[in-house]
Amino acid sequence: MSSTAHTPTAAARAPRVFGVLAEFKNPADVYHAAEKVRDAGYKKWDVHSPFPIHGIERAMGLGDSKLGWIAIFCAMAGAFGGFSLQFWIHRFAYPLLIGGKPLIAYPAYIPVTFEPGILFTAFGCLLGMLALNGLPRLYHALFRSENFKKATDDGFFISIEARDPRFDLAATRDFLSSIGGTHIEVLED
């Protein structure tokens, strides 16, 4: 009993393949390689570059970001909340006549309706962006690659993840090599 508790089983120790990483020479190469990966039908993959590459979203076949929907939802929630708060205070919680204005003086509510709308949108955009990117995280399998450190300097990479339905270790590796990838590495999770 006790010995099995201290010794991890063979299955747990067996490394899971995270995906395949390939390096490309320059932005143009990685751009055209990305088009081929897109056309090959991969979905769970990414391009890594030290700087933004113009038009890479199209080469990767990315759709619209969902962030806009998060932003407008937060904006409406914030604006509705801000307006309701004032309405509730002046109608129910603490009705108080101010400056001879009606109790429900909605022109006066607009600034406070606007501000939570903006505040919630800002939070929604920042947190939504982090969530959509899977951040924050302390660890990523790509960091196992020594070569990948160049991605912050002069390296251009494409990684295809094992969870992609089309992923097949040997075939994907060959594919990346056929579209011009070098230093191809198989990374473990």
- Contact residues: other proteins, CB under 8 A: 54-55, 57-58, 61-64, 68, 72, 99-101, 107-108, 110-111
Least distance in Å: CB of 124 to other proteins? 15
Closest CA to 46 of 28, 137, 57, 54: 57
Least distance in Å: CB of 18 to other proteins? 26
For other proteins, give the closer residue by CB, 87 or 114.
114
For other proteins, give the closer residue by CB, 54 or 91.
54
For other proteins, give the closer residue by CB, 52 or 136.
52
- Residue 37 buriedness (CB in 10 A; 0-12 / 13-18 / 19+): buried
For other proteins, give the closer residue by CB, 72 or 93.
72
Least distance in Å: CB of 62 to other proteins? 5
182's tokens: 């070098």
Least distance in Å: CB of 111 to other proteins? 8
For other proteins, give the closer residue by CB, 99 or 136.
99
Cβ neighbours of residue 84 closer than 8 Å, sequence gap 6 or more? none
Closest CA to 104 of 92, 94, 114, 90: 90
Rg (CA), the chain: 26
Least distance in Å: CB of 156 to other proteins? 18
**What is the three-state SS of 88-141?**
HHHHHHCCCCCCCCCCCCHHHHHHHHHHHHHHHHHHHHHHHHHHHCCCCCCCCH
